[in-house]
Structure 1
Amino acid sequence: MEETANAQPAPPPAPGAEQYPALDFADSVIALPGGRLLDLLGTPRSAGRWLAERGLAPADAGLHEVCAARMRALRQQVRALLASRIDRTPAPREALAAVNEALTRVPTAAPLHWDEVRGLHRAAPHPTDQIVDHALGALAADTADLLTGPDAARLTACGSPPCNRYLLRAGRRHWCSTRCGDRARAARAYARRIEARAD
Protein backbone atom coordinates (compact mmCIF):
# COMPACT_ATOMS: atom_id res chain seq x y z
CA MET A 1 0.00 0.00 0.00
CA GLU A 2 1.44 3.36 -0.99
CA GLU A 3 0.67 6.48 0.98
CA THR A 4 1.28 10.12 0.24
CA ALA A 5 3.34 12.42 2.41
CA ASN A 6 0.13 13.86 3.88
CA ALA A 7 -1.01 10.49 5.27
CA GLN A 8 1.72 10.27 7.90
CA PRO A 9 4.55 12.59 8.90
CA ALA A 10 7.94 11.55 7.61
CA PRO A 11 10.55 10.55 10.17
CA PRO A 12 13.49 12.90 10.63
CA PRO A 13 16.24 12.64 8.01
CA ALA A 14 18.60 9.72 8.44
CA PRO A 15 22.18 10.47 9.51
CA GLY A 16 24.04 11.88 6.52
CA ALA A 17 20.93 13.03 4.62
CA GLU A 18 21.63 16.72 5.33
CA GLN A 19 25.12 16.31 3.89
CA TYR A 20 24.09 14.19 0.89
CA PRO A 21 20.78 15.05 -0.80
CA ALA A 22 21.14 11.78 -2.72
CA LEU A 23 20.79 9.88 0.56
CA ASP A 24 17.68 11.89 1.40
CA PHE A 25 16.40 11.18 -2.13
CA ALA A 26 16.94 7.42 -1.73
CA ASP A 27 15.15 7.56 1.62
CA SER A 28 12.10 9.35 0.19
CA VAL A 29 10.21 6.03 0.17
CA ILE A 30 9.89 4.65 3.68
CA ALA A 31 8.81 1.16 4.67
CA LEU A 32 6.57 1.27 7.73
CA PRO A 33 5.41 -1.49 10.04
CA GLY A 34 2.48 -3.45 8.70
CA GLY A 35 3.77 -3.52 5.14
CA ARG A 36 2.85 0.10 4.45
CA LEU A 37 4.93 2.57 2.46
CA LEU A 38 5.26 6.31 2.88
CA ASP A 39 6.27 7.72 -0.52
CA LEU A 40 7.33 11.35 -0.34
CA LEU A 41 7.38 11.44 -4.16
CA GLY A 42 4.09 9.57 -4.56
CA THR A 43 2.20 12.41 -6.23
CA PRO A 44 3.29 15.34 -8.41
CA ARG A 45 2.38 17.71 -5.58
CA SER A 46 4.41 15.85 -2.94
CA ALA A 47 7.34 15.42 -5.37
CA GLY A 48 7.30 19.15 -6.10
CA ARG A 49 7.18 19.93 -2.38
CA TRP A 50 10.12 17.57 -1.78
CA LEU A 51 12.22 19.35 -4.44
CA ALA A 52 11.23 22.82 -3.21
CA GLU A 53 12.07 21.99 0.43
CA ARG A 54 15.58 21.05 -0.69
CA GLY A 55 16.09 24.09 -2.90
CA LEU A 56 16.04 22.01 -6.10
CA ALA A 57 12.93 23.62 -7.63
CA PRO A 58 10.72 26.64 -7.07
CA ALA A 59 7.64 26.03 -4.95
CA ASP A 60 5.39 26.80 -7.92
CA ALA A 61 7.13 24.45 -10.38
CA GLY A 62 3.84 22.69 -11.14
CA LEU A 63 5.15 19.16 -11.65
CA HIS A 64 3.05 16.68 -13.60
CA GLU A 65 2.84 12.93 -13.05
CA VAL A 66 5.45 12.28 -15.74
CA CYS A 67 7.93 14.39 -13.73
CA ALA A 68 7.13 12.62 -10.46
CA ALA A 69 7.43 9.27 -12.24
CA ARG A 70 10.89 10.22 -13.55
CA MET A 71 11.93 11.11 -10.00
CA ARG A 72 10.66 7.79 -8.62
CA ALA A 73 12.41 5.88 -11.42
CA LEU A 74 15.75 7.55 -10.71
CA ARG A 75 15.26 7.02 -6.98
CA GLN A 76 14.88 3.29 -7.59
CA GLN A 77 18.16 3.24 -9.50
CA VAL A 78 19.97 5.30 -6.84
CA ARG A 79 18.72 2.85 -4.20
CA ALA A 80 20.06 -0.03 -6.33
CA LEU A 81 23.49 1.63 -6.45
CA LEU A 82 23.52 2.26 -2.69
CA ALA A 83 22.51 -1.35 -2.03
CA SER A 84 25.22 -2.68 -4.34
CA ARG A 85 27.83 -0.53 -2.58
CA ILE A 86 26.72 -1.78 0.84
CA ASP A 87 26.56 -5.41 -0.32
CA ARG A 88 29.89 -5.06 -2.18
CA THR A 89 28.34 -6.40 -5.38
CA PRO A 90 28.82 -5.06 -8.90
CA ALA A 91 26.80 -1.94 -9.65
CA PRO A 92 23.72 -2.79 -11.74
CA ARG A 93 24.23 -1.61 -15.33
CA GLU A 94 20.70 -0.21 -15.53
CA ALA A 95 21.28 1.87 -12.39
CA LEU A 96 24.61 3.21 -13.70
CA ALA A 97 22.97 4.09 -17.01
CA ALA A 98 20.10 5.93 -15.30
CA VAL A 99 22.41 8.01 -13.10
CA ASN A 100 24.72 8.77 -16.02
CA GLU A 101 21.76 9.81 -18.17
CA ALA A 102 20.59 12.19 -15.44
CA LEU A 103 24.13 13.59 -15.18
CA THR A 104 24.32 14.31 -18.90
CA ARG A 105 20.71 15.25 -19.63
CA VAL A 106 20.94 18.85 -18.48
CA PRO A 107 21.23 20.92 -21.67
CA THR A 108 23.65 23.81 -21.90
CA ALA A 109 21.92 25.26 -24.97
CA ALA A 110 18.58 24.99 -26.75
CA PRO A 111 18.77 21.96 -29.09
CA LEU A 112 18.24 22.20 -32.83
CA HIS A 113 15.01 20.70 -34.18
CA TRP A 114 13.42 20.14 -37.59
CA ASP A 115 9.81 20.01 -38.67
CA GLU A 116 8.15 20.54 -42.02
CA VAL A 117 6.30 23.69 -40.97
CA ARG A 118 9.12 25.64 -39.32
CA GLY A 119 12.14 23.91 -40.81
CA LEU A 120 15.27 24.14 -38.68
CA HIS A 121 14.66 25.89 -35.38
CA ARG A 122 15.93 25.90 -31.85
CA ALA A 123 13.60 25.09 -29.01
CA ALA A 124 14.30 24.81 -25.34
CA PRO A 125 12.67 21.98 -23.39
CA HIS A 126 9.50 22.70 -21.45
CA PRO A 127 10.34 24.81 -18.35
CA THR A 128 9.07 22.11 -15.97
CA ASP A 129 11.19 19.50 -17.75
CA GLN A 130 14.21 21.79 -17.38
CA ILE A 131 13.56 22.12 -13.63
CA VAL A 132 13.27 18.36 -13.20
CA ASP A 133 16.30 17.72 -15.44
CA HIS A 134 18.42 20.08 -13.34
CA ALA A 135 17.13 18.60 -10.05
CA LEU A 136 17.75 15.02 -11.19
CA GLY A 137 21.18 16.01 -12.52
CA ALA A 138 22.09 17.51 -9.14
CA LEU A 139 20.85 14.39 -7.32
CA ALA A 140 22.75 12.12 -9.73
CA ALA A 141 25.95 14.14 -9.21
CA ASP A 142 25.49 13.92 -5.45
CA THR A 143 24.95 10.16 -5.74
CA ALA A 144 28.23 9.85 -7.64
CA ASP A 145 30.01 11.98 -5.02
CA LEU A 146 28.62 9.87 -2.17
CA LEU A 147 29.48 6.54 -3.79
CA THR A 148 33.01 7.55 -4.80
CA GLY A 149 33.94 9.78 -1.87
CA PRO A 150 35.40 9.14 1.58
CA ASP A 151 31.97 8.65 3.18
CA ALA A 152 31.10 5.68 0.95
CA ALA A 153 32.62 3.31 3.52
CA ARG A 154 30.17 4.64 6.14
CA LEU A 155 27.11 3.96 4.00
CA THR A 156 24.79 1.35 5.50
CA ALA A 157 21.16 0.26 5.56
CA CYS A 158 19.04 0.78 8.66
CA GLY A 159 19.31 -2.32 10.85
CA SER A 160 15.71 -2.26 12.08
CA PRO A 161 13.26 -4.22 9.88
CA PRO A 162 11.06 -3.34 8.09
CA CYS A 163 12.85 0.00 7.62
CA ASN A 164 14.40 0.41 4.17
CA ARG A 165 16.28 3.69 4.69
CA TYR A 166 19.99 4.30 4.16
CA LEU A 167 22.30 6.29 6.41
CA LEU A 168 25.90 7.14 7.09
CA ARG A 169 27.06 5.08 10.06
CA ALA A 170 28.46 7.02 13.01
CA GLY A 171 30.29 4.72 15.40
CA ARG A 172 28.24 1.60 16.12
CA ARG A 173 24.90 3.19 15.26
CA HIS A 174 23.10 1.24 12.54
CA TRP A 175 19.66 2.86 12.75
CA CYS A 176 18.26 5.75 10.79
CA SER A 177 16.24 7.17 13.70
CA THR A 178 15.56 6.84 17.40
CA ARG A 179 12.26 5.14 16.53
CA CYS A 180 14.07 2.42 14.57
CA GLY A 181 16.69 2.00 17.31
CA ASP A 182 13.96 1.60 19.93
CA ARG A 183 12.15 -0.94 17.73
CA ALA A 184 15.37 -2.96 17.24
CA ARG A 185 16.15 -2.94 20.97
CA ALA A 186 12.57 -3.98 21.82
CA ALA A 187 12.78 -6.85 19.30
CA ARG A 188 16.06 -8.06 20.84
CA ALA A 189 14.60 -7.87 24.37
CA TYR A 190 11.52 -9.80 23.24
CA ALA A 191 13.70 -12.47 21.60
CA ARG A 192 15.71 -12.84 24.85
CA ARG A 193 12.49 -13.28 26.89
CA ILE A 194 11.21 -15.95 24.49
CA GLU A 195 14.58 -17.73 24.60
CA ALA A 196 14.61 -17.62 28.42
CA ARG A 197 11.11 -19.14 28.55
CA ALA A 198 12.18 -21.93 26.18
CA ASP A 199 15.05 -22.89 28.53
Structure 2
Amino acid sequence: MRNVKESLTDQLGLPPAQGEEEHLSLALANSAIALTGGHAVDFLGTPAQANHWLTERGLAPVDAGMREMCATQLRSLREQIRSLFAARSEGLAALPAAVRAVNDAMTRVPTAPLLQWDDKTGPYRSTPHRTTAIVDHALATLAADAADLLTGPDAVRLTACGSAPCNRYLLRHGRRHWCSTRCGDRARAARAYARRTASP
Protein backbone atom coordinates (compact mmCIF):
# COMPACT_ATOMS: atom_id res chain seq x y z
CA MET A 1 0.00 0.00 0.00
CA ARG A 2 1.44 3.38 -0.96
CA ASN A 3 1.89 6.03 1.68
CA VAL A 4 -0.76 8.78 1.42
CA LYS A 5 1.86 11.51 1.69
CA GLU A 6 3.91 10.00 -1.14
CA SER A 7 0.81 9.62 -3.30
CA LEU A 8 -0.21 13.29 -3.06
CA THR A 9 3.36 14.46 -3.45
CA ASP A 10 3.83 12.28 -6.52
CA GLN A 11 0.68 13.52 -8.18
CA LEU A 12 0.67 17.23 -7.27
CA GLY A 13 3.76 18.06 -5.29
CA LEU A 14 1.31 18.95 -2.50
CA PRO A 15 1.58 17.39 0.99
CA PRO A 16 -1.51 16.51 3.02
CA ALA A 17 -3.07 19.51 4.76
CA GLN A 18 -2.52 19.85 8.50
CA GLY A 19 -4.90 17.43 10.25
CA GLU A 20 -5.57 15.06 7.33
CA GLU A 21 -3.52 12.27 8.84
CA GLU A 22 -5.56 12.40 12.07
CA HIS A 23 -8.97 12.94 10.45
CA LEU A 24 -10.03 10.88 7.43
CA SER A 25 -12.98 13.22 6.87
CA LEU A 26 -10.57 16.12 6.35
CA ALA A 27 -8.72 14.05 3.76
CA LEU A 28 -12.07 13.29 2.10
CA ALA A 29 -13.02 16.97 2.04
CA ASN A 30 -9.67 17.70 0.39
CA SER A 31 -9.91 14.93 -2.22
CA ALA A 32 -10.98 17.46 -4.88
CA ILE A 33 -8.41 20.22 -5.17
CA ALA A 34 -8.72 23.52 -7.02
CA LEU A 35 -5.45 24.54 -8.66
CA THR A 36 -4.24 27.74 -10.25
CA GLY A 37 -5.28 28.52 -13.80
CA GLY A 38 -8.78 27.13 -13.30
CA HIS A 39 -7.53 23.55 -13.12
CA ALA A 40 -8.70 20.95 -10.61
CA VAL A 41 -7.96 17.37 -9.66
CA ASP A 42 -10.46 14.93 -8.21
CA PHE A 43 -9.06 11.85 -6.49
CA LEU A 44 -12.56 10.31 -6.54
CA GLY A 45 -13.31 11.14 -10.17
CA THR A 46 -13.67 7.54 -11.33
CA PRO A 47 -14.57 4.29 -9.56
CA ALA A 48 -10.94 3.12 -9.86
CA GLN A 49 -9.67 6.38 -8.33
CA ALA A 50 -12.25 6.14 -5.52
CA ASN A 51 -11.22 2.54 -4.84
CA HIS A 52 -7.54 3.60 -4.78
CA TRP A 53 -8.27 6.51 -2.41
CA LEU A 54 -10.14 4.22 0.00
CA THR A 55 -7.45 1.53 -0.25
CA GLU A 56 -4.70 4.03 0.62
CA ARG A 57 -6.58 4.81 3.84
CA GLY A 58 -7.33 1.21 4.79
CA LEU A 59 -11.05 1.55 4.05
CA ALA A 60 -11.30 -0.89 1.13
CA PRO A 61 -9.31 -3.75 -0.36
CA VAL A 62 -7.58 -3.23 -3.70
CA ASP A 63 -10.12 -5.50 -5.40
CA ALA A 64 -13.28 -3.96 -3.90
CA GLY A 65 -14.84 -3.64 -7.36
CA MET A 66 -16.11 -0.07 -7.09
CA ARG A 67 -18.81 1.00 -9.53
CA GLU A 68 -19.85 4.52 -10.52
CA MET A 69 -22.70 4.44 -7.98
CA CYS A 70 -20.14 3.81 -5.21
CA ALA A 71 -17.88 6.66 -6.34
CA THR A 72 -20.94 8.94 -6.61
CA GLN A 73 -21.92 8.16 -3.01
CA LEU A 74 -18.41 8.97 -1.84
CA ARG A 75 -18.33 12.26 -3.80
CA SER A 76 -21.77 13.18 -2.45
CA LEU A 77 -20.68 12.62 1.16
CA ARG A 78 -17.57 14.69 0.44
CA GLU A 79 -19.71 17.66 -0.65
CA GLN A 80 -21.95 17.38 2.41
CA ILE A 81 -18.93 17.24 4.72
CA ARG A 82 -17.36 20.22 2.94
CA SER A 83 -20.61 22.09 3.49
CA LEU A 84 -20.49 21.33 7.21
CA PHE A 85 -16.81 22.28 7.45
CA ALA A 86 -17.56 25.59 5.71
CA ALA A 87 -20.45 26.30 8.08
CA ARG A 88 -18.34 25.47 11.15
CA SER A 89 -15.28 27.43 10.08
CA GLU A 90 -17.31 30.49 9.02
CA GLY A 91 -19.68 30.42 12.00
CA LEU A 92 -22.77 29.86 9.84
CA ALA A 93 -25.79 27.61 10.24
CA ALA A 94 -25.36 24.15 8.73
CA LEU A 95 -27.59 22.96 5.92
CA PRO A 96 -30.06 20.40 7.37
CA ALA A 97 -29.49 18.18 4.31
CA ALA A 98 -25.76 18.01 5.10
CA VAL A 99 -26.41 17.01 8.71
CA ARG A 100 -28.91 14.39 7.52
CA ALA A 101 -26.42 13.00 4.99
CA VAL A 102 -23.74 12.52 7.64
CA ASN A 103 -26.22 10.91 10.04
CA ASP A 104 -27.56 8.63 7.29
CA ALA A 105 -24.03 7.52 6.41
CA MET A 106 -23.23 6.76 10.06
CA THR A 107 -26.31 4.58 10.48
CA ARG A 108 -26.36 2.70 7.17
CA VAL A 109 -24.13 -0.20 8.21
CA PRO A 110 -26.40 -3.07 9.31
CA THR A 111 -25.39 -5.01 12.41
CA ALA A 112 -27.26 -8.13 11.27
CA PRO A 113 -28.68 -9.61 8.06
CA LEU A 114 -31.70 -7.50 7.19
CA LEU A 115 -35.23 -8.75 6.70
CA GLN A 116 -36.36 -8.69 3.08
CA TRP A 117 -39.69 -9.66 1.58
CA ASP A 118 -40.27 -11.17 -1.82
CA ASP A 119 -43.89 -11.15 -3.07
CA LYS A 120 -43.54 -14.67 -4.47
CA THR A 121 -41.30 -16.47 -1.99
CA GLY A 122 -41.98 -14.51 1.18
CA PRO A 123 -39.62 -13.25 3.88
CA TYR A 124 -35.89 -13.91 3.97
CA ARG A 125 -32.73 -12.45 5.52
CA SER A 126 -29.93 -11.03 3.41
CA THR A 127 -26.62 -9.31 3.73
CA PRO A 128 -25.58 -6.52 1.36
CA HIS A 129 -23.45 -7.17 -1.70
CA ARG A 130 -19.75 -7.28 -0.77
CA THR A 131 -18.92 -4.01 -2.55
CA THR A 132 -21.98 -2.28 -1.09
CA ALA A 133 -20.97 -3.42 2.39
CA ILE A 134 -17.42 -2.11 1.87
CA VAL A 135 -18.66 1.27 0.64
CA ASP A 136 -21.28 1.55 3.41
CA HIS A 137 -18.61 0.83 6.03
CA ALA A 138 -16.25 3.41 4.49
CA LEU A 139 -19.02 6.04 4.34
CA ALA A 140 -19.98 5.34 7.97
CA THR A 141 -16.33 5.63 9.08
CA LEU A 142 -15.82 8.91 7.21
CA ALA A 143 -19.10 10.36 8.46
CA ALA A 144 -18.34 9.39 12.07
CA ASP A 145 -14.92 11.02 11.78
CA ALA A 146 -16.53 14.21 10.44
CA ALA A 147 -18.97 14.23 13.37
CA ASP A 148 -16.09 13.69 15.81
CA LEU A 149 -14.08 16.50 14.24
CA LEU A 150 -17.02 18.93 14.21
CA THR A 151 -17.92 18.25 17.84
CA GLY A 152 -14.45 17.68 19.28
CA PRO A 153 -11.66 19.94 20.53
CA ASP A 154 -10.11 20.28 17.05
CA ALA A 155 -13.25 21.99 15.68
CA VAL A 156 -12.01 25.45 16.73
CA ARG A 157 -8.91 24.93 14.58
CA LEU A 158 -10.85 23.97 11.43
CA THR A 159 -10.38 26.54 8.69
CA ALA A 160 -10.24 26.90 4.92
CA CYS A 161 -6.88 27.52 3.26
CA GLY A 162 -6.35 31.26 2.99
CA SER A 163 -4.67 31.15 -0.43
CA ALA A 164 -7.00 31.40 -3.42
CA PRO A 165 -7.88 29.41 -5.44
CA CYS A 166 -7.07 26.58 -3.02
CA ASN A 167 -10.20 25.00 -1.58
CA ARG A 168 -8.64 22.67 0.99
CA TYR A 169 -9.47 22.61 4.69
CA LEU A 170 -6.94 22.23 7.48
CA LEU A 171 -6.55 22.34 11.22
CA ARG A 172 -4.91 25.68 11.92
CA HIS A 173 -1.60 25.49 13.76
CA GLY A 174 -0.78 28.79 15.43
CA ARG A 175 -1.48 31.64 13.02
CA ARG A 176 -0.93 29.54 9.91
CA HIS A 177 -3.97 29.64 7.60
CA TRP A 178 -2.46 27.78 4.64
CA CYS A 179 -2.64 24.11 3.82
CA SER A 180 0.91 23.96 2.48
CA THR A 181 4.13 25.93 2.08
CA ARG A 182 3.25 26.39 -1.59
CA CYS A 183 -0.08 28.04 -0.71
CA GLY A 184 1.61 30.19 1.94
CA ASP A 185 4.25 31.37 -0.55
CA ARG A 186 1.55 32.15 -3.12
CA ALA A 187 -0.49 34.16 -0.57
CA ARG A 188 2.58 36.14 0.56
CA ALA A 189 3.57 36.82 -3.07
CA ALA A 190 0.04 38.03 -3.85
CA ARG A 191 0.09 40.38 -0.86
CA ALA A 192 3.52 41.74 -1.82
CA TYR A 193 2.35 42.29 -5.41
CA ALA A 194 -0.79 44.07 -4.18
CA ARG A 195 1.33 46.39 -1.99
CA ARG A 196 3.68 47.18 -4.87
CA THR A 197 0.89 47.97 -7.32
CA ALA A 198 -1.05 50.03 -4.72
CA SER A 199 1.87 52.29 -3.85
CA PRO A 200 2.25 55.45 -6.04
Distance (Å, rounded) in 1 between the aligned partners of 2:15 and 2:47: 22
- SS of the equivalent of 2:65 reads coil
2:177 corresponds to which of 133, 149, 174: 174
Unaligned runs of 5+ in 1: none
For residue 176 of structure 2, what is the amino acid of its counterpart? R
Residue of structure 2 equivalent to 1:105: 108
Residue of structure 2 equivalent to 1:29: 32
**Residue 118 of structure 1, CA deviation:** 2.6
| Correspondence list, 1:37-186, <5 A | 37-186=40-189
Q: Deviations over 1:31-85 (max 9, x none)?
A: 0111121101000000000000000111111100000000000000000000000
How many residues get paired? 192
Provide the TM-score with structure 1 as the length reference: 0.93
Q: Does 1:15 align with 2:41?
A: no
Distance (Å, rounded) in 2 between the aligned partners of 1:169 and 1:145: 17
> Structure 1 vs Structure 2: percent identity of aligned residues?
61
Distance (Å, rounded) in 1 between the aligned partners of 2:156 and 2:134: 32
Distance (Å, rounded) in 2 between the aligned partners of 1:103 and 1:26: 17
Moved over 3 A (4+): none
Cα RMSD after superposing both structures:
1.4
Provide the TM-score with structure 2 as the length reference: 0.93
Unaligned runs of 5+ in 2: 1-6
Distance (Å, rounded) in 2 between the aligned partners of 1:49 and 1:117: 40
